[in-house]
Amino acid sequence: IEGYSKIAAGEVIERPASVVKELLENALDAEADQIFITIENAGKNLIQIQDNGKGINEDDMEIAFQSHTSSKIKSADELDNLHTLGFRGEALASIAAISQIEIISHPAHQDYGKKLEIFEGKIKNNEQCGAPVGTTIKVANLFFNLPVRKKFMRSNRVELGHITDVLTRYSLAYPKVHFKLIHNSIVIINSPAWSDQNNVEGKNNLDPYKYAIQTIYGKNVSSNLIPIHFNDGNIKLNGFIGSPEISRSDKSAASLFVNKRLVTNNKISQLIINSYKDYLMRNRFPFYIIYIDVPPNKVDFNIHPSKKTVKFEDESKFFVDLQIIINDLIIGGFK
Ligand code: ADP
Ligand code: MG
């Protein structure tokens, strides 16, 4: 295994929540429908993610930790047909360069699991073991060899806040996955899959996305949402915009997903704020959850290593269309 630069690693991994995000994306790409995260000391000491996804073949486990090895795309052309959250093959290599890792993976077709221990990017131990089907990865002592980064981690309250934020947002985009977050033995988030819960009293027949919103934000929010739909054959947009009663003091409470990936896009948030501003008090922001689906070749996530910013093909036309539908919706819906 080749050592990965600590500096490069620090670019992808800014804080414990970045580790959680990358590992969560891997579990989702592995099609897990149960993802349990256990952390200690806001992730500074330990981050463990257990999934029931398809696992990693024993022969591929060491390769998974080499930089720029992704099983998800084989050539740049395949970026045009991307249906996974990961594609750079950098996350595991980066995390391994700046922490201590133990990973156990058991693909269903193998009779046993395999365990790897990695220290400073080097494999220290590799052995067979019993394990449930899926993957469990433990990341300990994050930034142990990047003292400045380690020192600049914020309080447990702040770092835990970032982690719960990542998890709550992902549970909004994957309502059919059961997510759980346990911090220092206390359950912080438990968001059962829609399919298990849709017959529970009071939640009958909820649309899966609305179900997830209700689970995370409660009934007051889920019953004050106006649905939004747009489809020009190329771009599909669905989601909900909250009525002014549930506006927020924090702009970042709203969520935008593009091809199920949590992103930020200032133009989209600004145009929603523009349409909405006559209905809001000062210093309040609209609450919305918007899911945009576009063909993978019409969108570029490759702008920043964190994959958090997004650029669309024909952006200006799209934004004009979007402003019109959102204006209509808001004028029609909130009067
Ligand atoms: P990427 O997600 O961009 O492909 P990563 O460094 O995050 O790169 O992961 C490297 C590879 O390890 C993935 O391509 C995948 O094959 C494998 N992998 C990582 N985590 C999991 C997981 N939880 N379940 C199954 N395979 C995984
Ligand atoms: Mg990944």
User: Which tens digit of pLDDT belongs to each residue from 210-230?
Assistant: 989 998 999 999 999 988 888
Ligand 1 site, residue 139, Cβ cutoff 6 A? no
CB of 179 sitting under 6 A from ligand 1:
no
Range scoring the smallest mean pLDDT among 3-7, 252-256, 268-272, 297-301: 3-7
pLDDT of 165 reads 94
Rounded Cα gap, residues 235 and 321, in angstroms: 11
Asked whether the predicted pLDDT for residue 275 surpasses 90, the reply is no
Q: Return the structure tokens found at 243.
A: 């009525």
Report whether residue 216 contacts ligand 1, using a CB cutoff of 6 Å: no
Asked whether 121 lines ligand 1 (CB < 6 A), one says no
Residue nearest to atom 8 of ligand 1 (CA): 89
Residue-level pLDDT at 1: 44
User: Does the C-beta of 34 come closer than 6 Å to ligand 1?
Assistant: no
Identify the pLDDT of residue 226. Answer: 87
Q: Which two tokens stand for residue 188?
A: 């912080």
92 in contact with ligand 1, CB cutoff 6 A: yes
Judged against a pLDDT cut of 90, whether residue 269 lies above it is answered with no
Distances in whole angstroms, Cα of residue 256 to Cα of each of 66, 73, 267: 31, 25, 12
Q: How far, in Å, CA of 39 to CA of 331, rounded?
A: 45
Amino acid making up residue 180: K
Under the banding of pLDDT at 50, 70 and 90, the label for residue 3 is low
Cβ–ligand 1 distance for 64 under 6 Å, the answer yes
56 vs 111: CA distance, rounded Å:
13
pLDDT digits (tens, 9 = 90+) for 124-138: 889 999 999 999 999
Ligand 1 pocket, mutate which of 88, 92, 136 (most atoms under 8 A from CB)? 92
Which atom of ligand 1 lies nearest, measured to the CA of 85?
2
Q: Where does the pLDDT of residue 235 fall: very low under 50, low under 70, confident under 90, or very high at 90 and above? A: confident
Mean pLDDT of the chain: 88
- Residue 82 Cβ contacting ligand 1 at under 6 Å: no
Among 53-67, 187-201, 209-223, 253-267, which is the least confidently predicted range?
187-201
**Higher pLDDT among residues 309 and 155, named by residue:** 155
Average pLDDT over residues 34-58: 98
Query: What is the rounded average pLDDT of the residues 283-298?
Result: 90
Percent of the chain exceeding pLDDT 90 equals: 52
Full-model pTM: 0.90
Question: What's the gap in Å between 179 CA and the centre of ligand 1?
Answer: 19
Average pLDDT value for residue range 150-162: 96
In the chain, the domains with their CATH numbers are 6-191 (3.30.565.10), 224-334 (3.30.230.10)
Query: Between residues 208 and 304, which one has the greater pLDDT?
Result: 208
Q: How far is the CA of 116 from the centre of ligand 2 (A)?
A: 18
**What are the beta bridge partners of residue 119?**
100, 122
Ligand 1 centroid to residue 28 C-alpha, Å? 10
